[in-house]
Structure 1
Amino acid sequence: MRRAVVGIAAHVDAGKTTLCEALLYRSGEIRKLGRVDHGDAFLDTDAMEKRRGITIFSKQAILQTDNVAFTILDTPGHVDFSAEMERTLRVIDYAILVVGANDGLQGYTETLWRILERYNVPTFIFINKMDVTGADKESLLSLIRHRFSEGCVDADNIDGLDRDEQVALLDDTGIAVNQLLDDGRIQDQTLRRLVNERRLFPCFSGSALKLKGVDEFLAGLERFTSARQYPQDFGARVYKISHDNQGNRLTWLKVTGGSLAVKDSLSNIRLPEDPDEGSSPVGTYDARTGADTPWSEKIDQIRRYSASKYELIDTVEAGEVCAVTGLTRTFPGEGLGFEDDADAAVLQPVLTYTVWPGADDDNRLQSVEAVNSVETARDSAADHVGTRDAHLPSGSHDRTAPIKDGAGHLAPEVQAAEVTPELHHIFTALRTLEDEDPNLGVRWVPRLGQIQIQLMGAVQQEVIVQMLHDRFGMDVHCGSGGILYRETISASGEGIGHFEPLRHYAEVHLLLEPGQPGSGMRFRSKCSLDDLDRNWQRAILSHLAEKEHLGVLTASPITDMRISLIAGRGHDKHTEGGDFREATYRAVRQGLMELKRRGACQLLEPWYRFRLEVPQETMGRAISDIQRMSGTFDTPMYDGEYAVIEGRAPVSQMRDYSNEVNAYARGRGQLNCVFDGYRPCHDAQTVIDRMAYDPETDMENTPDSVFCAHGVGYTVKWNKVPDFAHVTAKTDNGH
């Protein structure tokens, strides 16, 4: 029997979960047909999903036909949970894209199509809700072909698909045409190949709620899917982390090679493929993965889930999806065995929110009100001032540095926020949720005494608040969202950190180099083992990867850089584990300060790629708005009475623009925005001035070093550190 993992994706309310329910029912996997709006759908097992009537977490179900064993993965349809959806797409063999006949081709549906194209996923299309008044299948199919591909072919008459000349012409090899001419039909093997090559996209239609067209669609899935070939060597892709009701940590993965058995050991250690990167005896670290230290752990259980129920199995073969227990260091997107870690997601959060204790209606403490008053006076991006990716201090007597106003002076009405046990518990709970969704980016901000998280939007914010209440018994609320800025560099430079209080010693020299946009942070060693012991080099790389380093312009996280260890020194007697941590952190900051002095530090902001569809008479207004928002756009296109404008614009300018579009287009406009990466900030100096961040007074992230003379440690300012350094580093170019 063939195996196939099929993911179902759609715009919210297109009927995706209802289609899953219908497929399971018609295949005999479930006896009762549930409904999303009634809260009894087989795959909507979470209480929040039942209340809201939307899918929040991806779910798995097993479906068998005569010839194929399908694993169905139902993914979230709301854009706020698109990260969960995108991670799931990495492990599927085929996708079902559901389009609602009542809504037409929504902007988010087009985004899903582009993501499926990026991951090269063969796709079936199901046009749902054909029972609604006014549903026009032919018009919608024509639009799908126009927007997606000419390979989107009507497959409702499944027996006629192999005699369709249009299908034969999709095959560049000419095999399909020859088969049609010689035999009067295209062989199923050829049709499967065209589907796998993303040349043919069979389009079915019906009503999942009324079970119309479901049998034909299921027959099409069985007929046009084929068995995948997998290598003998072990490989697996992790797509989800969750916790069951007993608190067991579950790693959801698809085995892509070999097999996996209970008590097998898994590890994140793999040999580097890049000779340049692999030349170091220490290795390379990719900060996007979070794999800062090697690990090896054993599998305790292997579970095969269908909705909330599971069976324990001893072995899982290549091509199967399962959940395993016993792994504590895995993360969504990780590759195991021969598989590489996933690239950065297309859809990423660009907003940051502050989490406060207490329900939204609770009265805040006076100090909290004061902090809010300062935040209100600043740009929303000021949420990032003084951020340090460190564990929340425990205890109720730790205090942060005082908060300053926009001019850099102490705000007289603001007292340093107290780290209460309540904040500590909230932080710990959020870290558990971050383990399941790394995009949350949970941070403790000492200077502001705040916990901050990164979210996609308001619906995800509400869900996080509800999850903290339901799973951890905590009542919290979130402040207004701000823009998540980042920083990078435009030139190379050396950073030096020295930490030598009495009876301690460590010195680190780093080479900071700009990386390609979207490359994230890369860390490697180019230091000889003759100059610095292997264990100390590993410690330095680990310290580089263990935290989110901050820039010196606005204290925003740095990105798109490669940091190389080029020299260092320890002391056999006086060097302790934490000494290299201090020296490494200070070296990064000192290098950034030197680059800032040279004007080589750069503020980045998130940008959207947008598609704006408005009536032609309002096109002038739309173009004027895009120019006002510092955006760029291609030559407008015309689709009937509508003008279509595609381009790019800063998130800070366009995040609320949909409300304006609805107003001036009188409900006839449509705006679709997708994260398009980070670019130089369009009003960088304005943001920097508004943030008023002083890196030299940020003691949590100091660029200064500590030296020792006559038994006494003393501080040396960052710009004088090279004159006091004990080691001279030499880079590739001899400098």
Structure 2
Amino acid sequence: MAQDINQIRNIGIIAHIDAGKTTVTERMLYLSGEKHRVGRVDHGTTDTDDDPEEQERGITIFSACVKYQWKGFNINLLDTPGHVDFTAEVERCLRVLDGAVVVFSAREGVEAQSETVWRQADRYEVPRIVFINKMDREGADFQSVIDDIGPRLGGRPVPVELPVGQGPPHVADPFRGTIDLVRNKMRQFDPETEGKNVTETEIPDEFADDAALWREQLLEAVCEIDEEAMALVMEDKPVPEEMVIAAIRKGTLERTIQPVFCGSALHGIGVQPLMSGVGDYLPSPLDRPPVQGVDPKKRDKTLSRQPDPKEPFCGLVFKILPAKTGDNYWIRVYSGELKQNSRVYCPNRDKKENVAQLWQIHASKKDRDGQTDTVTTGDICCVIGPRFAITGDTVCDVKENIELPSIKFADTVLSMAIEPESTADRKKLDETLDMLRRQDPTFQAVENEDIGQTLISGMGELHLEVIQHRLTRDFGLNVKFYKPRVNYRETIGGTASVVGQCNRQIGDKQMFARINATFSPLDDASKPVIVFDRLPPDCLPNDVRTAAIEEFRQRAEGGGFIAGFPLSGVKIEVTDAEMAEEGSDEVAFRIAAGDAFDKGLEQAGPVLLEPVMKVEVTTPEDYMGELVGDLQQRRAIVAGTEQRGAMTVITAHAPLKEMFGYSSAVRSLSQGRAGSSMEPLGYQPAPKEDAETFSY
């Protein structure tokens, strides 16, 4: 039976590592009746962390999709990683989601990766609600987390729930329930049924004043959104529950507020109200604007698709899981319907693709009972049959073509040389690396035939370590691994105006071309090279002009002057040119453009750039001195410190080259009591000695 699109919720759980995303997901599956026992991350029994590497480390590495029903809503939920090395999984999920649940730890609050995932959600304009988890942990502080969300994330948190107490059972006022500010009720969750049985009572007198104060703040936010509610408040009349919910939903969809829930997912407290909040406040596919794209045959023509089953089909491939029986393509359907045994068009590859099978997804696999004939607008499904599309590609109706914006992933920052132990392993290694590239868009592998090694690149130490384990353990390859090294870039330090020339005899033909160009650095050294055509209108014929500009762009993609690292942060303006009556063809101007490019980089002063990480260390005060001293030895600049409860948070900017093995160093210096996280910040000039002595 066709499902009501209004009742679909495509949501993601996003957060910093260890905030409890997977535990929240497990609790939702249990409370919805999708499973009869709650899985535990520390026992390796969760549905979504089903990879051996995830179970061994106790963290999420690969995004996973699960489905459940709750109070008439059909929920497609994507559980995402929290570690920065796997941020591509968050990126691709947010690209196709309609809403998100952002989880914060009540003790740690807003952390480094919290800021990253919040910014990603901002970029894709994803409405979100907030769940403050671990309210039963030592040092839990609901108010502190609320106070952090505004200044650090630019959000506007609006609590719709209050915690009753906070902290573990042995403290004077432990966390034991929640107060619903919308309905003015207190909720308690039965530990015997792991939170399934909920008792609602009137708010006890001891909490009444606090609840009234927070309720007043909630109504202030509601009045800003709904004029009718404001009129009732001005007349001292009660605001109906339905009006409050409708106003909060409107503000959430407009992304002006973020409703805040609280609880302890591990003990089943507060998760049921959160599940209801997903249905009440987050958007259905119909609440999202039509997707925009271009006509692949006329790229200046903008097209759109309404979220309507009657529209021509279009969808986006956001994940590929290689399999021997045929790669599993995860697709979000934005419009129309997709039928089994049909054909679709992939405009990115200009290929027609077969849709042999359609499956529902459970965790990272096909749902064994989930094969279906048709999927419709708003669905997330697994398709078997395509061969050419890659992550970020559009699939659409064969006759009604549209190409949606792709997914942009961050550049890799770390590389490692590997080589097979024997020639017999070479072919299997190549096939395995090709499969891993299809699965993970942030993983790269480039073979150097001269030395017999392959350079693999990823987002950090943990990312490469996971790849290493998969090659040896999962695929049984005998591979030699070398020490990781950072991925440098190159830019220029100054400006230069140059003249590139071609004045040579080739056979009996005299070739001539002259081209003038100016090279200057961009404000942001991490931005791609930009080439501007400033040539006078009638300076060159169109074909020659195009060839010259194209040569500059191709040379920019080829790397820099020092060691051929990727070039960035450079503006090239092609300002003038001269040609002869004979011998000034496309080849001549390509040669002249290449000459100008080499001269421009050399004269503007090539600069080697190294990746810099934003480092956040959370430590007891006693170890702060040792940790700051260690950071300074690593060429880090301490950007600030702040107090969060009993812990001190140090924020620093440090070169990635100096941060290998840093998490172990933090544990050693603090006797295991401090923790750290890192995320890419940008690039800065490397020390002069690195540029002088660097060799591949």
* Displacement of 1:426: 2.3
Partner-residue secondary structure (3-state), 1:264: strand
What does residue 140 of structure 1 align with?
A: 141
* Conservation of the 8 A alpha-carbon contact between 1:335 and 1:342: no
Letter in 2 for 1:352: S
Partner-residue secondary structure (3-state), 2:97: coil
Which residues in structure 2 correspond to 1:110-509 (within 5 Å)?
110-128=115-133, 134-135=137-138, 139-149=140-150, 151=157, 153=159, 155=161, 157=178, 159-161=180-182, 164-170=215-221, 173=224, 175=226, 177-178=230-231, 180=233, 181-185=236-240, 186-227=243-284, 228-231=287-290, 233-234=304-305, 236-248=315-327, 250-257=328-335, 262-268=342-348, 295-301=350-356, 303-307=358-362, 308-310=365-367, 311=370, 316-325=375-384, 327-334=386-393, 337=402, 339-345=404-410, 349-358=412-421, 420=423, 422-423=425-426, 425-445=428-448, 448-469=451-472, 472-489=475-492, 490-491=494-495
* Displacement of 1:590: 4.3
Whole-angstrom CA distance in 1 between matches of 2:655 and 2:223: 41
Using a 3 Å threshold, how does the CA distance of structure 1 residues 583 and 172 change in structure 2: closer, same or farther?
A: farther
* Displacement of 1:69: 1.8
Partner-residue secondary structure (3-state), 1:56: coil
* Displacement of 1:483: 1.4
Whole-angstrom CA distance in 2 between matches of 1:244 and 1:79: 26
* Displacement of 1:48: 4.0
Whole-angstrom CA distance in 2 between matches of 1:195 and 1:459: 35
Whole-angstrom CA distance in 2 between matches of 1:464 and 1:638: 37
* Displacement of 1:239: 2.5
Whole-angstrom CA distance in 2 between matches of 1:218 and 1:456: 33
Using a 3 Å threshold, how does the CA distance of structure 1 residues 667 and 119 change in structure 2: closer, same or farther?
A: farther
Question: Larger relative CO (CA 8 A, sep 6+): 1 or 2?
Answer: 1
* Conservation of the 8 A alpha-carbon contact between 1:230 and 1:318: no
Letter in 2 for 1:520: P
Whole-angstrom CA distance in 2 between matches of 1:440 and 1:113: 23
* Displacement of 1:192: 0.8
Whole-angstrom CA distance in 2 between matches of 1:246 and 1:203: 44
Using a 3 Å threshold, how does the CA distance of structure 1 residues 677 and 155 change in structure 2: closer, same or farther?
A: same
* Displacement of 1:299: 4.7
Partner-residue secondary structure (3-state), 1:442: strand
* Displacement of 1:687: 0.9
* Displacement of 1:546: 11
Whole-angstrom CA distance in 2 between matches of 1:45 and 1:479: 29
Could you tell me which runs of 5 or more consecutive residues in structure 1 were left unpaired when the two chains were aligned: 269-293, 359-364, 366-419, 570-574, 694-735
* Conservation of the 8 A alpha-carbon contact between 1:356 and 1:478: yes
Partner-residue secondary structure (3-state), 1:187: helix
2:561 pairs with 1:552: yes
Whole-angstrom CA distance in 1 between matches of 2:508 and 2:388: 34
Q: In structure 2, which of residues 521, 527, 531 is the aligned counterpart of residue 519 of structure 1?
A: 527
Using a 3 Å threshold, how does the CA distance of structure 1 residues 546 and 251 change in structure 2: closer, same or farther?
A: farther
What does residue 272 of structure 1 align with?
A: none
Whole-angstrom CA distance in 1 between matches of 2:651 and 2:254: 28
Q: Deviations over 1:539-596 (max 9, x none)?
A: 9959966995222212212234567999999xxxxx9xxx98x997x87864453124
Whole-angstrom CA distance in 2 between matches of 1:184 and 1:212: 28
The size of the alignment, in residue pairs, is 594
Which residues in structure 2 correspond to 1:584-599 (within 5 Å)?
590-599=595-604
Whole-angstrom CA distance in 2 between matches of 1:301 and 1:536: 47
2:70 pairs with 1:65: yes
* Conservation of the 8 A alpha-carbon contact between 1:524 and 1:564: yes
* Displacement of 1:454: 1.5
CA RMSD of aligned residues (A): 4.6
2:29 pairs with 1:24: yes
Using a 3 Å threshold, how does the CA distance of structure 1 residues 352 and 540 change in structure 2: closer, same or farther?
A: same
Whole-angstrom CA distance in 2 between matches of 1:38 and 1:213: 23
Using a 3 Å threshold, how does the CA distance of structure 1 residues 567 and 426 change in structure 2: closer, same or farther?
A: farther
* Conservation of the 8 A alpha-carbon contact between 2:90 and 2:117: no
Using a 3 Å threshold, how does the CA distance of structure 1 residues 462 and 314 change in structure 2: closer, same or farther?
A: same
* Conservation of the 8 A alpha-carbon contact between 1:27 and 1:63: yes
Partner-residue secondary structure (3-state), 2:442: helix
Partner-residue secondary structure (3-state), 2:96: coil
Partner-residue secondary structure (3-state), 1:556: coil
What does residue 89 of structure 1 align with?
A: 94
Using a 3 Å threshold, how does the CA distance of structure 1 residues 177 and 118 change in structure 2: closer, same or farther?
A: farther
Using a 3 Å threshold, how does the CA distance of structure 1 residues 28 and 115 change in structure 2: closer, same or farther?
A: same
Partner-residue secondary structure (3-state), 1:169: helix
* Displacement of 1:480: 1.6
* Conservation of the 8 A alpha-carbon contact between 1:251 and 1:325: yes
* Displacement of 1:686: 0.8
* Displacement of 1:631: 4.3
Partner-residue secondary structure (3-state), 1:594: helix
What does residue 610 of structure 2 align with?
A: 605
Partner-residue secondary structure (3-state), 2:141: helix
* Displacement of 1:130: 5.4
Could you tell me which runs of 5 or more consecutive residues in structure 2 were left unpaired when the two chains were aligned: 151-155, 163-177, 185-214, 292-303, 306-313, 396-401, 580-584
Higher normalized strand content (fraction of residues): 2
Letter in 1 for 2:142: L
Whole-angstrom CA distance in 2 between matches of 1:470 and 1:568: 61
Letter in 1 for 2:324: N
Whole-angstrom CA distance in 1 between matches of 2:601 and 2:448: 23
Partner-residue secondary structure (3-state), 2:319: strand
Greater shift, 76-85 or 531-540, is seen at 531-540
* Displacement of 1:305: 2.5
* Displacement of 1:317: 4.0
* Percent identical residues: 28
Whole-angstrom CA distance in 2 between matches of 1:204 and 1:355: 47
* Displacement of 1:129: 5.0
* Conservation of the 8 A alpha-carbon contact between 1:603 and 1:680: yes
Whole-angstrom CA distance in 2 between matches of 1:470 and 1:660: 27
* Displacement of 1:143: 2.4
Using a 3 Å threshold, how does the CA distance of structure 1 residues 626 and 557 change in structure 2: closer, same or farther?
A: same
Partner-residue secondary structure (3-state), 2:563: coil
| TM-score using structure 2 length | 0.71
Whole-angstrom CA distance in 1 between matches of 2:533 and 2:336: 33
* Conservation of the 8 A alpha-carbon contact between 1:613 and 1:669: yes
* Conservation of the 8 A alpha-carbon contact between 1:304 and 1:321: no
Letter in 2 for 1:429: T
Whole-angstrom CA distance in 2 between matches of 1:628 and 1:439: 30
* Displacement of 1:30: 3.8
* Displacement of 1:486: 0.6
Q: Deviations over 1:208-255 (max 9, x none)?
A: 45544333322222222233244283464443222233143x443324
| TM-score using structure 1 length | 0.67
* Conservation of the 8 A alpha-carbon contact between 2:639 and 2:652: yes
Using a 3 Å threshold, how does the CA distance of structure 1 residues 619 and 55 change in structure 2: closer, same or farther?
A: closer
* Displacement of 1:4: 1.7
Whole-angstrom CA distance in 2 between matches of 1:422 and 1:567: 53
Whole-angstrom CA distance in 1 between matches of 2:219 and 2:245: 12
* Displacement of 1:476: 1.9
* Conservation of the 8 A alpha-carbon contact between 1:592 and 1:601: no
Greater shift, 230-239 or 185-194, is seen at 230-239
* Conservation of the 8 A alpha-carbon contact between 1:12 and 1:54: yes
What does residue 682 of structure 2 align with?
A: 677
Whole-angstrom CA distance in 2 between matches of 1:510 and 1:241: 46
What does residue 11 of structure 2 align with?
A: 6
Using a 3 Å threshold, how does the CA distance of structure 1 residues 459 and 605 change in structure 2: closer, same or farther?
A: closer
